[in-house]
Structure 1
Amino acid sequence: MSTYTARALAPEVLAELRATDDAGRVPVPQRDEEGGAPLRCCLRHSRAGERIILVSYAPLRRWAAATGADPGPYDEQGPVFVHAEECAGPEGDGLAFTNAHRVLRRYSADGRILGGDLVGEGFGDAELAKAFDDPAVALVHVRAVEYGCFHYEVRRP
């Protein structure tokens, strides 16, 4: 079991995104015929036949609003897959999507990028401890290497 926990998108955020995503678009559900899409609602890969949507999500936006941070131009948005309908949420209580190289992007309390680290397949507590070694780091985003897509957020334990 990990000291750190992957934070899936919150149910209230998912409800908003399923209605209108962060780019102002109404998502279009599709049946995932093959499976394998990384779902940010339950932090697992989709299964063949599940209904999913691809939405535009701004991972710092709601955190910044809740904390008073102003991420400025770092308030980016990008594509993420979620179930088209409400789901049960994460099936585990640890880290997810550790099956490939990832980037751990570090952010300060004011929403600025403090740096990033490329980590290998099977990353865990040691890599996250290193990312949080700097006391100025408020949160870490786990991102895909290939496209830079947001997978999930990790905060200090």
Structure 2
Amino acid sequence: MTTHTARPIAPAVLEELRTADDAGRPLRPVTDQEGGAPLRCCLRRSAPGERIALVSYAPLRRWAARTDADPGAYDEQGPVFIHAEECAGPDGDALPFTNSHRALRRYSADGRILGGRLVTDADGFQPALTEALADPEVELVHVRAVEYGCFLYEVGRPHDAHGPAADGPGRA
């Protein structure tokens, strides 16, 4: 079975988001007293006492700016938690946040949604991703929280090591 890797938001993009998020708002760091926030910079949950921020992020818009795609109405912008300061990124390559129901949204190379799938347990992630990326029309998959629809991370084709989350500076 193919192993798929979750892509966090790239360091260059995080640097931009820490200045102004994709809605143009400045960073508002807080100390997370309870912990448990799903961090998109390092793909783990926050620990109590860590400095984090809730920022607006538009993953398809950033990807479209790099690839000349036009996601049209699918150009969503939504809330994501990140560390308020630079962090080391993910520790390992296991798929994170698989302990709850997740929606896997499939997108084409032009940024259009091609469908989705509900994954209800951790064992269902790899097969669902393999199935999604077996479709030649699917360029990338967003893993999202079911309850709020929030973007958690993306998974792309193995040849696309610098996919949408890896967008560089100036891509907003």
Q: TM tier, shorter chain?
A: over 0.9
Counterpart-to-counterpart distance in 2, 1:66 and 1:120: 33
Structure 1: where are the runs of 5+ without partners? none
Moved over 4 A (4+): none
For residues 2-151 of structure 1, what are the structure 2 equivalents within 5 Å? 3-122=3-122, 123-151=124-152
Q: Do the aligned residues in 1 keep the contact of 2:18 with 2:84 (CA within 8 Å)?
A: yes
Counterpart-to-counterpart distance in 2, 1:37 and 1:120: 20
Question: How much has 1:131 moved relative to structure 2?
Answer: 1.5
Counterpart-to-counterpart distance in 2, 1:125 and 1:71: 26
Counterpart-to-counterpart distance in 1, 2:2 and 2:152: 17
Question: How much has 1:2 moved relative to structure 2?
Answer: 6.4
**TM-score normalised by L of structure 2:** 0.88
Q: Which has the higher strand share?
A: 1
Residue range with higher mean Cα deviation, 47-56 or 93-102 = 93-102
Question: How much has 1:73 moved relative to structure 2?
Answer: 1.4
Task: Name the SS for the 1:88 alignment partner.
Answer: coil
Task: Name the SS for the 1:19 alignment partner.
Answer: coil
Q: Do the aligned residues in 1 keep the contact of 2:142 with 2:152 (CA within 8 Å)?
A: yes
Question: How much has 1:148 moved relative to structure 2?
Answer: 0.3
How many residues matched?
157
Q: Do the aligned residues in 1 keep the contact of 2:144 with 2:152 (CA within 8 Å)?
A: yes
**TM-score normalised by L of structure 1:** 0.96
Letter in structure 2 aligned against 1:83: H
Letter in structure 2 aligned against 1:142: V
How big is each residue's C-alpha offset from its partner over 1:43-97, in whole Å with a ceiling of 9 and x where there is no partner?
Answer: 0000000000000000111211111101111111000000000000011113111
- Which fold has the larger relative contact order, with Cα–Cα distance below 8 Å and residues 6 or more apart in sequence? 2
Counterpart-to-counterpart distance in 2, 1:131 and 1:64: 20
